[in-house]
Structure 1
Amino acid sequence: MDGHDPRRRLPALHRLLHAPEAQALLAAHPRAAVVAALRTALEAARAGAAAPDAAALLAAATEALGATPGLRRVLNATGVVLHTGLGRAPLAPTALAAIADLAGGYANLELDLDGGSRGDRHAGCAALLRELTGAEAALVVNNGAAAVLLALSALAAGGEAIVSRGELVEIGGGFRIPEVVAQGGAKLVEVGTTNRTRLADFAATIGPATRVLLRVNPANYRILGFTEAVAPAALAGLAHARGLLAIEDLGSGALVDLARFGLPRESTLAESVAAGFDVVAASGDKLLGGPQAGLLIGRADAIARCARHPLMRALRPDKLTLAALEATLKLYRDPARLAEAVPALGMLATPPEVLAGRAGRLLALLPTAAGGSLEAGVSLAGGGTLPLLELPTTLVALRPAGLPAEALAARLRAARPALLGRLDRGRLLLDPRCLAEPEIAGAAEAVTGALA
């Protein structure tokens, strides 16, 4: 470079680090990462034809640091309570406290403190699940799909699993029952039709290679109209009469009758056990309201076979998952307080008048430029549960002048914390159902900042 080249006047790295923008970056990122991003910006400037000023260099470093993918807190104004993309059920305060208590140190994960010998990491959760469901035994794995895979691998491998055609579901992430059965080492045998399957269809199909009769909850859809399905107890009874095992993928993980919250009935784990299923698989982070986990409950001998299977080690949960699940399960010992104790259940049960007040408070905090208004709408349960349920709510509809709703949504995704709503006919809709009272102000601040 010659003496007149403007790139010779680029600011030194140490001066950039003292700028207020750099100090903000240092507060949010490791010093080494900030220094590396600024050096990269300076090197790019030296290689270019023009010399950007300090502000441009700091902006380039900020963009580079912000581009790294990772988990961030999100304010959920989509109205979908068990939003898979946003981590499904938020944890109860007691579950958060249990995680914090164990995360920074050690725990008796596999140590029996009474006798000093090797312990069972599942013992605490298993005891609670037996108490709450009436099952003989219980096991915890790292998610609901893993629970189904483990049960089939341990109990049906090398034989046939018979399933109704109307239950060959696919849920999020490409989880398909036929593929899971195959991965579990069993041959899938379909019976009945899409809309009607009878007990006689199962009975006529059972053969020497049959190992299990499998019932699958159609988690994220319903077949309506001219339909017929086999009653759970009848299916389990047929399996036992023929010397087979009955497995149910219940999916939702409901531990109580949701009718007490004014919601549609959903089969509970205790009902599946009472119906006679040898193994029932479910998720921990759906209607149960706990962390991501897979639950296996049922007969002691069948659960023991699952526990001994080689896959169990690969699918076992860590101490933080178990701590959060145990704390969540303890809340079910007091059914009268569930709506206030388990956040997901509380969100599903929030009365429309409470949501209307929450939406009004949010609207009052927004600037006029947001073009906000209130309108009636519906929320959804999400997470592959209660697919026909539409919960009445009050929406805050945003239509800012001069800014497309898609652009506003993009700015809100970049906010910290990010704010997610849903786009509809040129508007951005904010549903307050999943916003806790303290988050209302945060949502308003995000919108105000995005419009500034």
Structure 2
Amino acid sequence: MKQSMPDKHLQLKSLPGVDHILALAETDEQFTRMPRSLILESVRRAIDNTRKQILEDKPAIITDEAILKQAARLAGQKMKNRLNPLINATGVVLHTNLGRALLCRDALDNIMAVSSSYSNLELDLATGKRGIRYAAIEELICELTGAQAAMAVNNNAGAVLLALNTLAQGRQVIVSRGELVEIGGSFRIPDVMIKSGCILKEVGTTNRTHPHDYTHAITEETGLLLKVHTSNYKIEGFTTSVSLKELVGIGKSHDIPVMEDLGSGTLIDFRAFGLPSEPPVFEQVASGADVVTFSGDKLLGGPQAGIIVGTKHYMDQIKANPLTRALRIDKMTLAGLEATLKLYRDTLVAVEEIPTLKMLTLSYEQLCSDADVLFSLVTEAVGNQAEIALADMASRPGGGSYPGLTLPTRCLTIRPKTMSVTALDKKLRAFDPAVMGRIEDDWFIIDPRTLQPGQNKILANILKKLID
């Protein structure tokens, strides 16, 4: 039965004023360390929400305590960070939505040291004059890749844009149709090329491109031969492609520079760790490419960056491009990147210390052991409130690397008796810290490959709180 109009008017009249609730909030510990402007906004919203409930004939509690509590909840939501750490139980190592590569301890320590103090970001300490910010990493990148010169910008799309704009603005860039990829967020190589001021010249077909397709397409308007490594998909079957070495030969015979966009990019040979071959940067440089671009936060396992390596002749031109300033990386990225790169001087140390490499190369035996520990912890925490089992499944590299590759793993599968698997998934995402897993065949899947040290105990405690 709806309230009568006089009752509704009485309720509206009994609403406390903003100043009254604000005065109460200023001495209430729920609002400790909150700015007054935020408290004021939250109090107003709480009163407005209560007023709206009354006008819509919904039950409303009109007391100082109820409105204070609502205001505190609203203010607390505003005070929370929007970007928060979470537990990745998906088994996708380079999960783009979850921030891709985790930084190693050395990178975190160096970022803290550099960002909490003044630094020689653009100062040459030997001369006391202005220096170049890339000096911190250029020599190191060249040492690891064999390139003559190097630099880094904010991401690989920026690296490709900058290199194309420098080397071929207003001229044709020849690329195979089978390499016109689309990367995350619907960004496409053809679109990047257009924005760089180049003219796209497609050759070959989606599945087959031959050397003569390039040679027949070369004209006086050709400024660059581009090869794009298809790191986020694979074409199988009746296929033919032109190797980088072949393309370099064509470029040299016509005096045209050759560039390769490796996309993900790696500084180690993963074949030594039982994984399929993914072209290491040093091999592509050795093949004679004039410019090679790749990411910092994918298989490299560092902070987000786009790394450009190549011959000094072309790299000097790229560094002089005005776009370089617009795309430059900051001191924190440089600090993290330098510390990560230094670990690559010893491959075994890099694989042990860089989280991305460690997760990718985890043995099946180790994952089985980790799954057994997780099973014991979760079983003890949840008891008979859920069905819990272990199952052999597959992890994925993710992040636009190793298309189609799956990594053997052993996962914990859980199905609560008190709620649906979908409801559990929703509760885990809403928890602090949030937990991201996956659902398969009406089971919630937890893959230990992407759990970090100590998170198995945290996860068991979370499940205990959520599964009644």
TM-score (normalizing by structure 2) = 0.90
- C-alpha distance after superposition, 1:401-437 (max 9, x if no partner): 2422222222111211111001223222111111112
How big is the alpha-carbon RMSD for the aligned residues of Structure 1 and Structure 2? 2.4
Instruction: Please tell me whether residue 130 in structure 1 is matched to residue 135 in structure 2.
Output: no
Give 1:71's aligned residue: 83
Of residues 73-82 and 357-366 in structure 1, the stretch that sits farther from structure 2 once superposed is: 357-366
- C-alpha distance after superposition, 1:218-248 (max 9, x if no partner): 1111111111111211101111110101000
Q: 1:35-434 maps to which residues of 2 (within 5 A)?
A: 36-45=41-50, 48-49=53-54, 50-52=60-62, 54=65, 58-59=69-70, 61-62=72-73, 65-66=76-77, 70-366=82-378, 367-368=382-383, 369-434=385-450
User: Would you say the 8 A contact 2:14–2:62 is kept in 1?
Assistant: no
2:73 is matched by which residue type in structure 1? T
For the residue of structure 2 that corresponds to 1:224, the secondary structure is coil
C-alpha distance in 2, partners of 1:267/1:4? 70
C-alpha distance in 2, partners of 1:347/1:108? 34
2:153 is matched by which residue type in structure 1? V
C-alpha distance in 2, partners of 1:31/1:342? 44
Q: Offset of 1:51 from its aligned partner?
A: 2.4
Q: Offset of 1:180 from its aligned partner?
A: 1.1
TM-score (normalizing by structure 1) = 0.93
C-alpha distance in 2, partners of 1:450/1:34? 31
Of residues 257-266 and 56-65 in structure 1, the stretch that sits farther from structure 2 once superposed is: 56-65
User: Would you say the 8 A contact 2:134–2:151 is kept in 1?
Assistant: yes
2:431 is matched by which residue type in structure 1? A
Give 2:5's aligned residue: none
Of residues 127-136 and 427-436 in structure 1, the stretch that sits farther from structure 2 once superposed is: 427-436
The 1:3/1:63 distance shift into structure 2, 3 A limit, reads: closer
2:61 is matched by which residue type in structure 1? A
Of residues 5-14 and 371-380 in structure 1, the stretch that sits farther from structure 2 once superposed is: 5-14
Q: Offset of 1:336 from its aligned partner?
A: 2.1
For the residue of structure 1 that corresponds to 2:309, the secondary structure is strand
Q: Offset of 1:2 from its aligned partner?
A: 5.7
Of residues 340-349 and 409-418 in structure 1, the stretch that sits farther from structure 2 once superposed is: 409-418
User: Would you say the 8 A contact 1:171–1:384 is kept in 2?
Assistant: yes
C-alpha distance in 2, partners of 1:331/1:199? 39
For the residue of structure 2 that corresponds to 1:326, the secondary structure is helix
The 1:61/1:427 distance shift into structure 2, 3 A limit, reads: farther
The 1:303/1:374 distance shift into structure 2, 3 A limit, reads: same
The 1:15/1:356 distance shift into structure 2, 3 A limit, reads: farther
Q: Offset of 1:274 from its aligned partner?
A: 0.5
User: Would you say the 8 A contact 1:347–1:434 is kept in 2?
Assistant: yes
The 1:206/1:33 distance shift into structure 2, 3 A limit, reads: same
C-alpha distance in 2, partners of 1:386/1:61? 47
C-alpha distance in 2, partners of 1:106/1:449? 45
User: Would you say the 8 A contact 1:399–1:405 is kept in 2?
Assistant: yes
For the residue of structure 2 that corresponds to 1:288, the secondary structure is coil
Of residues 318-327 and 35-44 in structure 1, the stretch that sits farther from structure 2 once superposed is: 35-44
For the residue of structure 1 that corresponds to 2:411, the secondary structure is strand
Of residues 172-181 and 354-363 in structure 1, the stretch that sits farther from structure 2 once superposed is: 354-363
Of residues 422-431 and 210-219 in structure 1, the stretch that sits farther from structure 2 once superposed is: 422-431
For the residue of structure 1 that corresponds to 2:398, the secondary structure is coil
Q: Offset of 1:153 from its aligned partner?
A: 0.5
Q: Offset of 1:360 from its aligned partner?
A: 2.5
Q: Offset of 1:441 from its aligned partner?
A: 1.4
2:450 is matched by which residue type in structure 1? C
User: Would you say the 8 A contact 1:37–1:65 is kept in 2?
Assistant: no
Of residues 10-19 and 397-406 in structure 1, the stretch that sits farther from structure 2 once superposed is: 10-19
The 1:417/1:35 distance shift into structure 2, 3 A limit, reads: farther
For the residue of structure 2 that corresponds to 1:225, the secondary structure is coil
For the residue of structure 2 that corresponds to 1:399, the secondary structure is strand
C-alpha distance in 2, partners of 1:3/1:177? 62
For the residue of structure 1 that corresponds to 2:300, the secondary structure is coil
Structure 1: where are the runs of 5+ without partners?
A: none
Q: Offset of 1:446 from its aligned partner?
A: 2.4
User: Would you say the 8 A contact 1:42–1:57 is kept in 2?
Assistant: no
Of residues 351-360 and 46-55 in structure 1, the stretch that sits farther from structure 2 once superposed is: 46-55
Q: Offset of 1:60 from its aligned partner?
A: 6.1
- C-alpha distance after superposition, 1:372-404 (max 9, x if no partner): 221111100000001121111111112112422
C-alpha distance in 2, partners of 1:87/1:79? 14
**Larger-Rg structure:** 2
- C-alpha distance after superposition, 1:12-36 (max 9, x if no partner): 456567777x26xx57x66753564
User: Would you say the 8 A contact 1:146–1:294 is kept in 2?
Assistant: yes
2:49 is matched by which residue type in structure 1? A
C-alpha distance in 2, partners of 1:296/1:5? 68
Q: Offset of 1:62 from its aligned partner?
A: 2.3
User: Would you say the 8 A contact 1:284–1:292 is kept in 2?
Assistant: yes
C-alpha distance in 1, partners of 2:24/2:106? 47
1:397 is matched by which residue type in structure 2? T
